Copies of this chain bind each other. A is one copy, B any other.
Amino acid sequence: MRDVAIIGVGCTEFGELWDRSFRDIFVEAGVAAIEDSNLQGGKIDALYVGNMSGGRFIEQEHIGSLIADYSGLAGFHVPSTRVEAACASGGLALRQGIIAVASGYHDIVIAGGAEKMTDVDVETTTDALAAAADREWEGVMGATFPGLYAMIARLHMHKYGTTSEQLASVAVKNHHHGTMNPKAQFQNEISIDAVLNSVMVADPLHVFDCSPISDGAAAVVLAPAEIAKKFTDTPIYIKASAQASGTLSLHDRPDITTIDATVAAANRAYKMAKVTPKDIDFAEVHDCFTIAEICAIEDMGFVKKGEGGKATMDGMTAIGGKIPINTSGGLKACGHPVGATGVKQAVEMVLQLRGEAGKRQIDGAEIGLTHNVGGSGGTAVIHIFGR
């Protein structure tokens, strides 16, 4: 198995990009990544793209072919494959790209993700997103994602004494990080009071506990580690790629405050990278709701179970804290175009590890981790990156 490195990255701004189509945004991200890696298009051996629901959002499937075509790579007949695992689609596209390079089937591979969510009405969006949950057991009962994560939050409060203020502190921190990211959908500070006074979506989750609906695209260029320095002085190496499944339905899990797919994927990733949670200097985790970040940092062992809310409130996960989490602003403030998120997390890793993260740069980071979740935890994918 060959080692793999990232030699270039690109990302659009995230937000309500009403002036740009799906085609525009993935080309923008892909071209930026190709330029960043000092490559030309004809050198690309394969494409992988994460996209959750082109069929519902833009009435377009066959996204791989579309992307090869509109990137100008159909003339080279470059293989292009769409991967879908709901909100983990981007993370899985990255993983398939890594496996393709590791296998020797391909050398230079672009792994990207894109989603255009704001061109349909919000009811369609909500229903399309609900298709990440179990349609026959959750969807038909009226469950949508805020409701599912609200149940997780409620039990977490009951079992561990987590408070609404602690949940809100996740959003406050990630908005603060977002103020330093020019690509972020929200670049404004919010306060705990603002979160607590915002509209209740699904008790105990207010609207400011929820990630937004977003458009955006991101891409990374992968190469075999042994030739990465031909393209860049600062390759970032993939130290682990791990994936795990959980039950599709929340109610089938023994303890809904633990996403067991996250635990399984983290254990595999730590083993593969030969590290422990203590070795991780910073991470991008899947904060689709504030409670999700708290569960994530607990389930991956950055804090003890039940202490995620307090740790966040105490500043442990802010830039300058012991383990900065979601320096990009996370899903909450940077935005959450579902197919793009997992790849955007990798872009943030590369920028931080190269020292190119601007105002949000953290000091001396050597090892970072990304954590991308599909649905309420039916899929978890974790990557570990190093210089």
Contacts and interface: CB of A to CB of B under 8 A. Distances in A.
Interface residues of A, number: 67
A322 interface: no
Main secondary structure of the interface of A (DSSP, over half): mixed
Contacts of A74: 245-248, 252, 378
A134 B66 contact: yes
Contacts of A80: 85, 245, 379
Contacts of A62: 84-86, 131-133, 248, 374-375, 378-379
A36 interface: no
Contacts of A47: 245
Interface stretch (A9-17, A95-103, A170-178, A300-308): A95-103
A90 to B, nearest CB: 13
A81 B73 contact: no
A379 B65 contact: yes
B92 A99 contact: no
A272 to B, nearest CB: 10
A134 B100 CA distance: 27
Contact of A135 (B60, B136, B260): B60
B52 A246 contact: no
A65 B81 contact: no
Contacts of A136: 21, 23, 60
Contacts of A128: 55, 61
Contact of A83 (B54, B60, B66, B83): B83
A88 to B, nearest CB: 9
A32 B23 CA distance: 41
A137 to B, nearest CB: 10
A78 B261 CA distance: 9
Interface in A22-71: 23, 47, 52-56, 58-66, 68-69
Interface in A289-325: none
Contacts of A364: none
A255 to B, nearest CB: 14
Interface in A75-121: 77-86, 92, 95-96, 99-100, 102-105
B103 A1 contact: yes
A143 interface: no
Contacts of A96: 81, 96, 99
Contacts of A99: 96, 99-100, 103, 105
A194 B247 CA distance: 49
A355 interface: no
A280 B339 CA distance: 40
Interface string A206-232: 000000000000000000000000000
Interface in A242-275: 243-249, 252, 260-261, 264-265
Nearest to A241: B105
B85 A81 contact: yes
A65 B99 CA distance: 19
A376 to B, nearest CB: 10
8 contacts: A23-B136, A62-B84, A62-B132, A64-B374, A77-B246, A77-B265, A96-B96, A99-B103
6 closest cross-chain pairs (CB), A and B: A65-B378, A103-B103, A77-B264, A79-B243, A68-B245, A77-B244
